[in-house]
Structure 1
Amino acid sequence: MASSSFFYYLFLFFFFLLADCLVLSEGVEGKEKELVPAFFIFGDSLIDNGNNNNLPSLAKANYYPYGIDFSDGPTGRFSNGYTMVDEIAELLGLPLIPAYSETSGENTLHGVNYASAAAGILDITGRNFVGRIPFNQQIRNFEMTLNQITNRIGADEVGQSIGRCIFFIGMGSNDYLNNYMMPNYVTRNQYNGPQFANLLIQQYTRQLTSLYNLGARKFAISGVGMLGCTPNILAQIPFSRCSDAVNKLVQPFNNNIKTMVNNLNRKLPGAKFVYVDVYRMFQDILSNPKQYGFSTIDRGCCGIGRNRGQITCLPLQTPCLNRDQYVWWDAFHPTEAVNVILGSRAFSGNSNVVHPINIQQLANL
């Protein structure tokens, strides 16, 4: 009897020892899957995850039904679930990146999301929504984060790590929707379409160079999508067709981004910029919706008015049930299903949608 008890406890000892080894092994393996030290995100409502929650702003999404399919519920994401950068973070092997407004201490070490709904390349963009954090201020916020991290782990460690991090920037949509196309802005009277695109790129180039001067080296720059096909624009057009005029308006800006990326790759030593062609991704999805599993491409899953695009999701409004079959979540923003596709293609897509390399290849440089 004593002998059997001895072997029983010996079995338990080796069982728990093996379990501990497996846990440690998984931890090491998980660490190896982190392709970059951190992921820093700048942008607007397409990738905001809560930075506007405590601002005096009309651009907020921290209420139901936003976040209905997200594990933490409404967080400030303008989606029913994941945003594009949530999917990219996961593919990089990182945890979901926290909003700047919620960061402190250890949770900054995998990166920070500075994006703000209604924000633009130009500081005046989005003023109709009152509070927002323009790109210039997002860069200043990153500089504050950089100082905090430097104080925690030292300048040498930060200097070695920051150049290996991915910097994702998605700006420009609001400079059209909430600036150039708004009747209370003078920009449309001052510039034609190509001139406005040039103005944006001049400012954008200076801003990205500022990030480079702060140590950033790996950049993923997202273009503007098919704004003329959003439910809000469809609601203004007879027969609910995409607006060719609006889509053509943003094309010079996207073309300029490609040129800017090529120029910065030549001019800034050690830097690598890639262009994420969101416009082309949307074009493919809207042209071949059934191939992607979508049945509804011309109205929002939640919202009020024509095409559910005249007023965005109201608090406690009941959204559509078949959300995975909708391209658009609300008047301007795609569903989680689309965001996952966009993030996945940005991460591992071919040169038709990510130029000159994809984010996975960028991370492995």
Structure 2
Amino acid sequence: MKNLVVLLMVIMSRCVAQDQDYPPSNVRKKELVPAMFVFGDSLIDNGNNNDLPSFAKANYFPYGIDFNAGPTGRFSNAYTIVDKIAELLGLPLIPAYSQATGNQVLHGVNYASAAAGILDVTGRNFVGRIPFNQQMSNFETTLDTITASRGADDVSRSIAQCLFFVGMGSNDYLNNYLMPNYPTRNQYNAQQFANLLVQQYTIQLTKLYNLGARKFAIAGLGAMGCIPSILAQSPTGKCSDSVNALVQPFNANVKTMINNLNTKLPGAKFIYIDIANMFRDILTHPASYGFRVIDRGCCGIGRNQGQITCLPFETPCMNREEYVFWDAFHPTSHVNVILGQRAFNGGPDVAYPMNIQQLAALDLEPDS
């Protein structure tokens, strides 16, 4: 009986949610790119972990509580940042690799996997996950399938115009460097670990370039010291300056990497999406964005609702539009929509050296 009551409360909260239903019912606009291919972790995973033997899953209520399709595997109450970007590009929501079939792949595929990292060893505490190297192998499989039906020349020209969105690195810190059962922290200081990650990242992104990718949007890491999971470990409940400082060398290295790749790889254009800068602005001026709660999750257990993340059929907060964080690790859909919008048409303070809209408009050649 108790479980039934909880279920009814969840259903009722969906009906009265202040967040809008997603996806919206408006007609899609003209497509600005042929497709978008997505690589990353739980911030943009939309179901690739659902069928894995993994502890990193979100295919249950109340995840997806404000999403028309319900719980899909998105670690959000509705949209992720790439959902908003796809909408702004005039594309349908990009299907997960584990679920995409037939012509669905022609508008792109999402390969992201919760607990995945730049390093293959990252996230092993969660058992099943798809590291970036395997995500790229899955893209190769998709590419082979499309090429077989469309022809190599047509696919090569089309892929050069597609957007490749990559958001990796969070788990290499949260589920590797900061984990006591990993030796990483004893092997590398912050700068050395950032160097290791970006050396590998450079190799991986160059491989995507060699597979035909030309338009890259690379997301930096956010204010990780301010997520509810980290706040719950603080005696004061305040952001961890040490964790925020830990990831700064990574973001700095990624910016340098982007400049280098733009110089070294003919015809390619890499842009940097400054998630940290956008997040800092939200946390510093929450009211201007409509937020009221910035220091705890909407769904979670313990201090700051961040000690245990959102459990199946847990009743989340009702005023989700006013929360910055959905659970112990992930932002609400409201935040994701803001980040996606600003990445799409924001200035150089959030998208360098150009935004996604400007990147999409470039006419890049596959053999240039």
SS of the equivalent of 2:37 reads strand
1:71-127 CA distance string (max 9 Å, x none): 100000000000000000000000000000001111000000000000000000000
Matched letter for residue 192 of structure 2? Q
Matched with 2:338 is 341
2:289 is the counterpart of 1:292: yes
Quote the Cα distance in structure 1 between the aligned partners of 2:204 and 2:76: 27
Equivalent residue for 1:230?
A: 227
Provide the secondary structure at the position in 1 that maps to 2:196: helix
Residues 300-311 of structure 1 mapped to structure 2, 5 A cutoff:
300-311=297-308
1:358 correspondence with 2:361 = no
SS in 2 for 1:206: helix
The separation in 1 between residues aligned to 2:308 and 2:78, in whole angstroms, is 20
Q: Could you state the TM-score of these two structures normalised by the residue count of structure 1? A: 0.91
CA separation in 1, counterparts of 2:157 and 2:200?
28
C-alpha distance in structure 2 between counterparts of 1:233 and 1:31, whole Å: 39
User: Which SS does the other structure have where 1:269 is aligned?
Assistant: coil
Q: Does 1:102 pair with 2:99?
A: yes
Which residues in structure 2 correspond to 1:11-90 (within 5 Å)? 33-90=30-87
Q: CA deviation at 1:31?
A: 8.3
- Match for 2:349: what amino acid? N
Measured in 1, the distance between the counterparts of 2:264 and 2:101 equals 35
For 2:206 and 2:109, the matched residues in 1 are separated by: 19
Is 1:315 equivalent to 2:312 in the alignment? yes
Question: Which of 239, 248, 271 is 2:268 aligned to?
Answer: 271
More helix by share: 1
**Other-structure match for 2:147:** 150
CA contact (8 A) 2:283 2:294 kept: yes
Paired residue secondary structure (1:50) = coil
Q: Deviations over 1:20-74 (max 9, x none)?
A: xxxxxxxxxx787100000000000000000000000000000000000001000
2:65 and 2:45 map into 1 onto residues whose CA distance is 16
Q: What's the counterpart of residue 4 of structure 2?
A: none
Work out which of the residue numbers 148, 163, 167 in structure 1 matches 2:164.
167
Aligned equivalent of 1:195: 192
Query: Hey, what does 1:329 align to over in structure 2?
Result: 326
CA RMSD of aligned residues (A): 0.8
Partner of 2:243: 246
Runs of 4 or more, structure 1, over 2 Å off, are none
Letter in 2 for 1:328: F
Picking from 212, 215, 224, the partner of 1:215 is 212
Identity of aligned residues (%): 74
In the aligned structure 1, how far is the partner of 2:179 from the partner of 2:295?
A: 23
- The answer to whether the 8 Å contact 2:28/2:87 transfers is no
2:255 to 255, 258, 261: 258
Residues 153-162 or 140-149, more deviating: 153-162
Q: Which runs of 5+ in 2 are unaligned?
A: 1-26, 363-368
Q: Partners of 1:136 and 1:248 in 2: how far apart?
A: 27
1: distance between equivalents of 2:198 and 2:29? 37
Using the alignment, how far apart are the partners of 1:336 and 1:32 within structure 2? Answer: 22
d(CA) in 1 for partners of 2:100, 2:94: 10
Consecutive unaligned residues in structure 1, runs of 5 or more: 1-29
Match of 2:110 in 1: 113
Which residue does the alignment assign to 1:22? none
- Give the counterpart letter for 1:152 in structure 2: S
Deviations 1:280-332 (A, max 9, x none): 00000000000000000000000000000000001000000000000000000
Q: When the two structures are aligned, how many residues end up with a matched partner?
A: 336
Aligned counterpart in structure 2 of residue 136 of structure 1, from 103, 108, 133: 133
Quick one: higher RCO (CA 8 Å, sep 6+), 1 or 2? 2
Q: Deviations over 1:206-263 (max 9, x none)?
A: 0000000000000000001011000000001022100000000000000000000000
SS in 2 for 1:246: helix
